[in-house]
Amino acid sequence: MADKTRSQKLKRLVAVQRHLEQMAEYDLAETSRQRVEVSEQIDSVIQALGSMDPVHHAFSQGYADRFNRLGIKDKQLTGMQEVHQMRVQQERAKGDRLEEGMQEALDAERREADDSAVYDIIDQKFGTPASSKLQKP
C-alpha cells in the first residue's frame, strides 16, 4: 500500500465528515417532516372538536385525549429538532475545520515540492560533480 500524504488522508476524512453532515441534515429534515404531520393532525382534531356535527360530539373525549397526545409528541419533536440542528452545525463545523486543515497541508506539500525543485536546480547548477570524469577538460 502506498504511503498517503497528509492532505490525501485529510481529504478522505473531509469526505467522511461531509457524509456525516448529510446524515444529520437528513435526520433534521425527517424530524421537520414529522412535525408538519403532527401539526396537520392537531389542526384536524381542533376542527373536529369545534365542529357542530353531532357525530363529533360523541367522540369529543377521544379527540381531547388525542389532542393532548399530539401536543406531547409535538414538544418531543421540537426538542429533537433542536438537537438535530445543533448536530448539523457541529458536523458542518468539524467538516469546515478538516477542510481548512486539508488545504493547509496541501499548500505545505506544494511549497515543499517547489522548494525541493529549486534545491535540485541549485544543485545541478552549482553542485560539484560526483566524479572527476564528468568534468570537461
Per-residue pLDDT 10s for the chain (137 aa) are: 457 888 899 999 999 999 999 999 999 999 999 999 999 999 999 998 888 887 778 888 898 999 999 999 999 999 999 999 999 999 999 999 999 999 999 999 999 999 998 888 888 888 665 555 555 55
Buried b (16+ CB within 10 A) or exposed e, 112-126: eeeeeeeeeeeeeee
Position of cell 468539524?
94
Q: What's the pLDDT at 130?
A: 57
Q: What's the pLDDT at 2?
A: 56
Q: What's the pLDDT at 136?
A: 54
* DSSP percent split of the chain into helix, strand, coil, nearest 5: 90, 0, 10
The answer to whether 85 touches 28, Cβ cutoff 8 Å, is yes
Ordered by start, the domain boundaries in the chain are 6-122
Q: What's the pLDDT at 59?
A: 85
pTM summary value: 0.74
Q: What's the pLDDT at 125?
A: 81
